[in-house]
């Protein structure tokens, strides 16, 4: 159990601050969290963004994919995370099949904001998803888009594979990222794409690009909190680094992660994918 309260070092992160960080060249650090204790540690380590990710289906519930996660699950974990965090901006993942059309997306997003106590929702994919992004933004729901490897597409993709390789795929990815920004997304998560492609997307956009397996030239980085401390089961993806190695406490691992992201030291070349 965590004990007592900690003083806030700096003001809470707001949605407009994300763009400001990009303009100032200040790299954004983000982690997932699923409960109050990890959220408190991330907040105390000065993490800017906490994602209540649907990765909880895998790392908390032990499933083989994120597909079984429900809106109720994200609301439940979002509430717990909200009790532990004060400064970080909280983002809620919209689970698989919870945004088949704009109106349904709005119904679920409103729950994630109102009941799950998050300030932004994240949707995977482009194509028809762009209309849902626009619909949400027009109704005061801040949106984070998620492109590249979208884990909710695992059945179609046939596994968790690097995306955006080759000219046609890279150009489609850049178009999708621009479409998400034009629809009003305030943030973009780019997962498992070659670093050069991520760098191009980043320079195309005014909104910050947060990478996971997308190289060091993104405006920020995100990792699953369990990966940062080396307790996730199964094969470790190339982009993961265990920051607990050589340290005694989880908070020190989180602080080291934030420091390396801000300094542009993480990810290193060994964590990146080539074209």
Assess contact for 84 and 33: CB atoms under 8 A: yes
Scored b (16 or more CB within 10 A) or e, 190-220 reads bbbbbbbbbbbbbeebebbbbbbbbbbbbbb
7 is catalytic: no
Euclidean distance between CA atoms 123 and 92, whole angstroms: 9
> Is 219 one of the binding residues for ligand KIV (CB under 6 A)?
no
Of the candidate spans 37-45, 52-60, 102-110, 174-182, the one that interacts with ligand KIV by CB under 6 A turns out to be 52-60
Of these residues, 117, 124, 186, 191, which one is catalytic? Answer: 191
Of 3-22, binders to ligand KIV (CB under 6 A) are none
Running DSSP on this structure, what letter comes out for residue 7?
A: -
Give the nearest residue (CB) to ligand KIV: 53
> Is 55 one of the binding residues for ligand KIV (CB under 6 A)?
yes
Token reading at 147? 């492109």
HSE at residue 135, side-chain half, CA atoms within 13 A, is 18
Of the candidate spans 50-58, 113-121, 157-165, 247-255, the one that interacts with ligand KIV by CB under 6 A turns out to be 50-58
Q: Which of 43, 44, 48, 54 binds ligand KIV (CB under 6 A)?
A: 54
Work out how close the CB of 14 gets to ligand KIV at its nearest, in angstroms, rounded to a whole number: 21
Q: Which residues contact residue 16 at a Cβ distance below 8 angstroms, ignoring those fewer than 6 apart?
A: none
The helix or strand, by DSSP H or E, that contains position 197, with its residue range, turns out to be helix 195-204
Looking at the Cβ atoms of 74 and 130, the one nearer to ligand KIV is 74
Q: Which of 44, 48, 186, 191 binds ligand KIV (CB under 6 A)?
A: 191
> Is 224 one of the binding residues for ligand KIV (CB under 6 A)?
yes
Of 75-134, binders to ligand KIV (CB under 6 A) are 93
Of 127-186, binders to ligand KIV (CB under 6 A) are none
Looking at the Cβ atoms of 177 and 222, the one nearer to ligand KIV is 222
* Residue 92, beta-bridge partner list: 52, 121
H helices of 25-117, where? 36-44, 56-59, 71-84, 102-114
Binding site for ligand KIV (CB under 6 A): 32, 51, 53-55, 93, 189, 191, 212, 222, 224
Catalytic residues, which ones?
Answer: 191
């Amino acid at each position: 159990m965590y004990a007592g309260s900690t003083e806030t070092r700096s003001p809470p992160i707001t949605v407009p601050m994300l763009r400001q960080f990009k303009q100032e060249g200040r790299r954004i650090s983000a982690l997932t969290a699923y409960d109050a204790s990890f959220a408190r540690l991330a907040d105390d380590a000065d993490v800017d963004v906490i994602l209540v990710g649907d990765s909880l289906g895998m790392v908390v519930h032990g499933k083989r994919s994120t597909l079984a996660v429900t809106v109720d699950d994200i609301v439940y974990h979002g509430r717990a995370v909200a009790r532990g965090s004060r400064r970080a901006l909280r983002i809620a993942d919209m689970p698989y099949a919870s945004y088949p059309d704009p109106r349904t997306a709005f119904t679920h997003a409103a729950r994630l904001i109102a009941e799950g106590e998050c300030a932004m929702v994240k949707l995977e994919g482009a194509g028809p998803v762009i209309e849902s992004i626009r619909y949400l933004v027009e109704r005061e729901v801040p949106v984070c888009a998620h492109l590249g490897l979208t884990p909710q597409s695992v059945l179609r993709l046939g596994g968790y594979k690097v995306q955006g390789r080759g000219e046609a795929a890279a150009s489609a990815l850049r178009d999708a990222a621009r479409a998400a920004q034009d629809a009003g997304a305030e943030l973009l998560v780019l997962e498992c794409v070659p670093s050069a492609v991520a760098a191009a997307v980043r320079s195309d956009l005014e909104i910050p690009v947060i990478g996971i397996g997308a190289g060091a030239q993104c405006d920020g980085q995100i990792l699953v909190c369990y990966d940062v401390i080396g307790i996730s089961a199964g094969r470790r993806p190339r982009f993961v680094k265990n920051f607990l190695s050589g340290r005694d406490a989880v908070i020190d691992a989180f602080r080291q992660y934030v420091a390396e992201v801000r300094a542009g030291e993480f990810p290193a070349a060994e964590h990146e994918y080539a074209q």
